[in-house]
């Protein structure tokens, strides 16, 4: 069933304490890495944006935390994520195991770099070409 939450806090309130604690742990980690990130709900799940662009999404499930760092985030860390169940742009972190905090941190840092590089590239494309 899709969440009808309109904020991350209301999304988290719907989960049992163990799942909520894990989601809060991911939230705190993202905030630690990129304090200027904006929290929102997108695709009915908690989303962290930077300059209007999605960094990562996170979702709670009965047996795992879903982490969605986009396909590029998954490709960049494919080797480190090999022990987890993954999809094109997602990974499942089982509730029965500790969160891989360092890995999540590195993925978020990578995504921040991608977003910032994309913004810089877009700015260069929009710059007027000097005429001679």
The reported pLDDT for the residue numbered 22 is 96
Taking 60 as the threshold, does the pLDDT of residue 5 lie above it? yes
For the chain, what is the domain count?
1
pLDDT band at residue 126 using 50, 70 and 90 as cut-offs: low
pLDDT score for 90: 95
Tell me the β-bridge partners of 86. Answer: 91
> Does residue 132 fall inside a structural domain?
no
pLDDT at residue 63 tops 90: yes
Domain assignment present for residue 129? The answer is no
31: pLDDT strictly greater than 90:
yes
Q: Does some domain include residue 50?
A: yes
- Which pLDDT value is given to residue 110? 96
**What is the C-alpha to C-alpha distance for residues 58 and 8, in angstroms, rounded to an integer?**
10
- Return the CATH number at 16: 3.90.1150.200
Does 108 fall in a domain?
yes
- pLDDT for residue 128 is more than 60: no
Tell me the CA distances in angstroms from 57 to 32, 100, 130, one per residue in order. Answer: 16, 16, 40
Give me the domain span that covers residue 90: 8-124
User: How long a stretch of residues is the chain?
Assistant: 132
Q: What is the pLDDT of residue 119?
A: 77
Of residues 43, 71, 47, the one with CA closest to residue 58: 47
pLDDT mean over 48-70: 95
What digits encode the pLDDT tens for the residues 72-122? 999 999 999 999 999 999 999 999 999 999 999 999 999 999 999 887 777
- Joined tokens for residue 3: 């969440």
Mean pLDDT of the chain: 91
The answer to whether residue 1 sits within a structural domain is no
Which residues are paired to 67 by β-bridges?
A: 58, 91
Q: Does residue 131 sit within a domain?
A: no
Does residue 116 fall inside a structural domain?
Answer: yes
Mean of pLDDT values over 23-50: 96
């Amino acid at each position: 069933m899709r969440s009808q939450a309109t904020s991350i806090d209301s999304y988290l309130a719907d989960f049992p304490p163990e799942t909520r604690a894990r989601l809060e742990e991911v939230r705190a980690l993202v905030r630690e890495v990129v304090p200027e990130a904006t929290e929102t709900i997108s695709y009915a799940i908690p989303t962290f944006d930077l300059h209007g662009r999605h960094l990562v999404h996170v979702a709670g499930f009965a047996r795992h935390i879903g982490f969605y760092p986009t396909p590029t985030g998954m490709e960049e860390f494919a080797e480190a994520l090999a022990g987890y169940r993954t999809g094109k742009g997602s990974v499942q972190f089982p509730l029965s195991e500790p969160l891989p905090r360092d890995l999540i941190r590195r993925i978020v840092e990578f995504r921040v770099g991608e977003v910032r590089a994309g913004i810089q590239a877009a700015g260069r494309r929009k710059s007027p070409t000097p005429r001679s």
